[in-house]
Structure 1
Amino acid sequence: MLRSLYNRIQRLSARKDAVWWMSAVSFSESSFFPLPPDVMLIPMCLAQPKKLWFYTNICALASLLGGMVGYALGYYLFESVGRLIIDLYNAQESFQRFQDMFAEFGPWFLILKGVTPIPYKLLTITAGFAHLDLTVFILCSIVARFSRFYMIAILMHFYGAQVQAIIEKRLMLVTTVLLIVVVGGLLSFKFI
């Protein structure tokens, strides 16, 4: 079943409209959607290595734009929409800790956490709710999101063929490691 899903994602990643789907996932993940864009970015870069930097830039830009929507949800619509999203993820305690961290560390907290696999939407909504200066938010988001996706792109650029061979040979192990990373990221915003 896992092999079938992997092959399907590889085929989807090679489609002409895949960049639009990846953009939509990246945009929505920064404000409300749970699925990270890495699940499309990596297979797309493996399927078409010559478009690696194009895909990476599109993914980061879409994430930045989605982050501004998340910021607006926290700033203008927290009581009606932002709180609903926080409650949906059962992240009330994390939201309070994030507020405290924003108060103490400000933009540095956004940059540091913005490159990790924790759900970026929680940061964007919290930044809006905390009324972090919009220009500072945008600049920090540019640094955080482009850094995050460029790290993936650099690894794909230098080790893409090896990564693909490892994934295809040890698909179950790679899936388990990725799952541990994602779950670890989710737990980090609960306990940090």
Structure 2
Amino acid sequence: MRLRRCGPDAVLVELASLTEVAAARAALATADLPGLVDLVPAARTVMVSFSAGSSGIRRVRDVLEQVDLSKAPDVTSHEVVLPVVYDGPDLELVAETAGLTVRETVALHSGTEYTVAFCGFAPGFAYLTGLPEPLRQPRLDTPRSRVPAGAVGVAGEFTGVYPRPSPGGWRLLARLADHADPLFVPTRDPAALLSPGDRVRFSAVS
């Protein structure tokens, strides 16, 4: 673990794994740190920001040194089921690379429970962990200039859903069904459908 100051009122906590990130975020969230404004987890870091002049920033290291960062925290989470249609343009590529049939690939991806590790890249985009090993594949050699909203992809150890049209290099397996709840609505509370710690399943629909 390494702490790096980011200006006078924030600190970046550098960690070794997603488990450590989850443990650190949970510990800091429950520590009642004075002036805490936000916790922003990423793949190997947690950004901790405070109101100007708060004394809370001086307690971050003490809180984390009392936590076993090797153990995933017990957190209250929600289960979200996303209805999807498995007709993505890279579905056959993913199946071939995994040494599976298309049907087996769909069953493997939809039969797994995932956890939101962190959010980023675009509002509402959640990086989901728990992807089965055969589906852990590299990004496309040439990213697409436009991935449609609702596209479901895999890249490395993550799977996720694009909340809006954007460039992207993930291998696309599926798309959200028309009746699925949108991933991000600025006027909704909360605006993002998925939050760190939430459990997610994909339900195959035709």
TM range (shorter): under 0.3
TM-score normalised over the length of structure 1: 0.28
Structure richer in helix, relative to its length:
1
Pick the structure with greater CA Rg.
Answer: 2
What is the TM-score of this pair, normalised by structure 2?
A: 0.27
